[in-house]
Structure 1
Amino acid sequence: MIKGNNIYIRPLNIEDAVELLRLETENREIFEKFSMTRSNDFYTMENQIKRITKNQETMLEGQEYNFGIFINNNDKLIGTISLFQVIRGSLQNAIIGYFLDERSNGKGYATEAVKLVIDYAFNELMLHRIEAGVMPHNIASMRVLEKAGFHKEGISQKNVKINGIWEDHQVLAIINPHDQM
């Protein structure tokens, strides 16, 4: 568990499957605006258990790091945050992605979760760089990243297919401040 002032993040376990399914089902419409459309099979308990199990495996293998975002005072699951496409070797890079319950937006939770993951990535995983891609009209998500220290690098044109449409993404990144060379 990585604790912040208002929230904490931790890897999900099988006992979280019910809450994860609730989070995904209640926020399906908004999550799918910024991600791929998911089949109805995704929204089953069986699929969420498989998803959690797979996330645990990829974390042990150092390929991906997936966390739930929980409120400190009631342990409610309000989102997920991930470091994925982790590349070692000369790049030491990962991509960050997150989803937050629509009712929890605007309270600083996403920014706090991003900061916790950045700290983990730079100080525990010793990554050099974290990237994010945000659809240009998703101003709130860009603000989250900028408040966490990310800087804009440019537009990646038609690079992610979302709901059947190739969408442009604003590329943002943050560099580990401890890496001087």
Structure 2
Amino acid sequence: MKLQRDGKRVSLRPMKSEYARALYELRTRNQAFFTPFEPLQQKLVMTLADYQERIRDDVRHWRDQTGYSFGVFLQESGELIGRVSLSNIVYGAWKNCTIGYFLDQAHNGQGLMTEAVALAVDFALTDGGLHRVQAAVMPWNLGSVRVVEKVGFRFEGLSKYYLQINGQWEDHNIYAITQEDWVR
């Protein structure tokens, strides 16, 4: 199984403990930017130790094939600029997962997350052994809507009050891509 994915401008690498400090710094630097798009954290401020624990969970999920989390790195500098996660994996007859992602605000609007999501979808539908990848996006999050549409996800419908984001139950558009849709 090929774990790392290299694109033109970004690489996806499975999360490892050595990335904890960079992830902590990325999340801390972007805390205000990410807040409107995420569930309220149980702890308002997460420590480096908290991120080390999250990455230990990521490694366990890889081992158990229940989730695949990647750091998004700039090809040119090697800087960690985001994360893409394939989670809620179910094999058997469904072979499905959900995708989630975030990107450093300083790198928004450059097509880097579109490239990263395409690389993650390629992993999921090939080496990951999945048939379907689902994304749930708040309709007002136009940047994320553009990402999934550019990658080739199809709109499947609106799910009312789907997730509690920043303390409020938010509607989400449901998008999916399957092996039949995927063009490499």
Q: TM-score, normalised by structure 1?
A: 0.95
Kept in 2: contact 1:24–1:43 (CA 8 A): no
Structure 2 residue corresponding to 1:98, chosen from 98, 101, 104: 101
Please tell me the residue identity of whatever aligns with 1:74. Answer: S
Kept in 1: contact 2:152–2:181 (CA 8 A): no
SS in structure 2 opposite 1:43?
Answer: coil
Q: Does 1:143 align with 2:140?
A: no
What percent identity do the matched residue pairs reach?
A: 38
Q: Does 1:77 align with 2:80?
A: yes
**Post-superposition shift, 1:42?**
5.2
- Measured in 1, the distance between the counterparts of 2:176 and 2:53 equals 31
Q: Does 1:63 align with 2:66?
A: yes
Return closer, same or farther for 1:60/1:135 CA change in 2, 3 Å cut-off: same
Q: 1:166 is matched with which residue?
A: 169
Long gaps (5+) in structure 1: none
**Post-superposition shift, 1:2?**
1.1
Provide the aligned length of Structure 1 versus Structure 2.
179
Q: CA RMSD in A?
A: 1.4
Q: TM-score, normalised by structure 2?
A: 0.93
Q: 2:41 is matched with which residue?
A: 38
- Measured in 2, the distance between the counterparts of 1:126 and 1:101 equals 29
